[in-house]
Every structure is written in C-alpha cells, then in structure tokens.
Amino acid sequence: MISPGVRHVRPREYQEACALLHERQAAPIAGGTELYLRMKQGVATPRSLVDLTDLPGMRQIERLADGTLRLGAAVTISALERSPLVAEAAPVLAEAAQRVGAPQIRNMGSLGGNLCQETMCWWYNRTALWRQAKEPCYKAGGSLCHVVDQEAVCYAAYRSDLAPILMSLEAELIVQGRQGERRMGIDELYSGDAAFPFTLAAGELISAVLVRPLGEGDVAAFAKHAHRRSIDYPLVSLAVAARGWTNGAAGRLRIVLGAVSGMPIRVPEAEALLEAAGAGERSVAEAAALVAKHAKPVRNVSFGAPAYRRHIAKVLARRLLGDLLARRRASSG
C-alpha cells in the first residue's frame, strides 16, 4: 500500500539513504507492518518513505570472524525464526521471534522495524476522528495525558518482543548517519520519554544488530504473556540471559521487562540478588517481587489492567528465574 502523495524511494547506498532521511517528514520503512498502520491512523504523516531493504547487508544474517552474530536490520522476523545461524548462536532469539504477531506480520516485518516500532496507547492509536473528540494529549502535541493526570509525561507502552531479549543479551546496534557509521549498546536506543522514545537523530537508521553468541555455561530464556497466542502484542514480557552461569564462573545475569513501560527495563536489584553466591528459593521469590515492583503499567492498552499485568510479571519472573537457578545448582552439584 503506497498512500497517494507519498514519495517512495529505494536507495542502494547508505549515504544516499541518510541524506534522504534527513529531509523533513521522511521516514525509514522496511516491512511497513507498523508504520502503515500509524499512517492510516493519521499519527504518522511522512511525505516520503525511504525503503531500507536494498541497502548493503540489510537482509543478511552472518557470523563474523570473531563469532559475533550479525543481523541485518531488514532481515524479516521469519528469517530470524528459521536461520540455522541464529539457532546455533542464540536460539532464544528465534523463540522470541516466533512469538511476534502472526506469520503474515513475521513474513513482512523486520528486525529494525520491530526495534523502532512506536510506543502505543489506546488514547492515541485511534482514528483521527476518534482522537478529535478529546483534547490532544502530550504525545499528540498537547500538554496533558489522558491516562495519568500529569502534564508533559507520556506512559505509552513499548511492545517490541525482540528488544527485551536483545537487551538481555547486551546486543549492539550499528547506526548509519550522514557522518558515517557508529556503534551503540541497544539500551542507548531509548530516550526514556515514551512520547519520543528513540535517540536516533534525523538522518540516522539502524543497519545491523550484533549479538555475542551464547556459549558454554550461558543460559537465556524469554516469556511473553498476551491475550491470544495466535496473534497479539505482549501485555508483559520477560527476558533473562545469564553468561557464565553453569560452568562454575561468577555468572552475570540480565533481567529485562518488556511492554510495561516506554522502553524495556532492566531490574538490576533482582540481577544482583540472584548473582550472589548461595542464592536459593527465597532469592527467587524476592527477585520476582522486585521484578513486579519495577513493572509499573498503566491503564493504556486493551484488556491490560495494571494489577493484572504486574501480577503476570511476577509469575513470569518466578518461572524463568526459578528455572535459571535450578540449572545453576544442577551444574554445580
């Protein structure tokens, strides 16, 4: 679907793509599964779409000389699901990919588009006519929020399924801009302001995601809770990755909550609790409580009562963290 009056360009060089993106009202596009919907709702109004799919390496999955898994940003979610290289280096990423939307979304939708999908809120992601019935909220250019009685704060939810697991794996992003290429941790992608969630500057785009493969002694898991299994955004998701966990090393744990805030959130207190030597069943319960405490969802997604989502965060944490600890104990004794 190309909207009338919207220019669609398909550059083959990064310099050209970044120059085009620097123009006012230009937006990158890959699969279009998320952006076209926002265009239909009138909350995104680009005048030109810069298609990223023909840029070099964008649709490639490879292992670099040092073993790093390099995923081109326009690789589809289906390709991640099926790639033998992903299955070998980070099977948990393929599992998370399998939980994104439905097959049609995964066949079109890309990794970069998944990471750069906008935050969502049921007051905002509506038709223009519906939105006109109320004063514009902060994200729509006004100053108030219809969900929480506060000015200039947005609580829209970021619901990418791939971001939490990539954050737990401490993935890095390759970003292309008019000045060339830079590398940043995936956690640096987020501004912390749900109304303007990303730190990418005008003219910048993500060209690849780098993942250090899981090795011997490393363990990772992902869990998602949604109303329907067949097709649905997460109400809550949880990703855990533990490096050096079952080979007698000190062990480093990353716990990341998804879909309950304007960005994926790490829970360092729970990580420290379980990293400590001698962590037992009680630590799992305490860590799960900390995870639930960090989850502060608000009433802005369909069927997602905040107390329910917080409860589910605790349930998922008990399950994943309990399993993680059991695996560590089994390996040590």
Ligand X SMILES: Cc1cc2nc3c(=O)[nH]c(=O)nc-3n(C[C@H](O)[C@H](O)[C@H](O)COP(=O)(O)OP(=O)(O)OC[C@H]3O[C@@H](n4cnc5c(N)ncnc54)[C@H](O)[C@@H]3O)c2cc1C
Q: Say which entry of ligand X, ligand SF4, none residue 32 contacts (CB below 5 to 8 A, set by partner kind).
A: ligand X
Q: Say which entry of ligand X, ligand SF4, none residue 314 contacts (CB below 5 to 8 A, set by partner kind).
A: none
Identify the residue among 69, 90, 121, 205 touching ligand SF4 (CB under 6 A).
121
- Name residues contacting ligand SF4, limited to 290-319 (CB under 6 A): 300
Q: Say which entry of ligand X, ligand SF4, none residue 147 contacts (CB below 5 to 8 A, set by partner kind).
A: ligand SF4
Q: Say which entry of ligand X, ligand SF4, none residue 112 contacts (CB below 5 to 8 A, set by partner kind).
A: ligand X
**Residue 313 corresponds to which amino acid?**
A
How many residues contact ligand SF4, by CB under 6 A?
15
Identify the residue among 33, 119, 125, 168 touching ligand X (CB under 6 A).
33
How many residues contact ligand X, by CB under 6 A?
32
Identify the residue among 108, 120, 171, 189 touching ligand X (CB under 6 A).
108
Q: How near is the Cβ of 128 to ligand X at its closest, in Å?
A: 18
Q: How near is the Cβ of 195 to ligand SF4 at its closest, in Å?
A: 6
Identify the residue among 18, 61, 101, 139 touching ligand X (CB under 6 A).
101
Q: State how far the Cα of 96 lies from the Cα of 160, in Å rounded to an integer.
A: 10
For helices 306-332 and 268-275, the axis angle rounded to 10 degrees is 20
The distance of Cα 316 from the centroid of its chain, to the nearest Å, equals 18
Q: Which residues bind ligand SF4 (CB under 6 A)?
A: 121, 123-124, 137-139, 145-147, 154-156, 194-195, 300
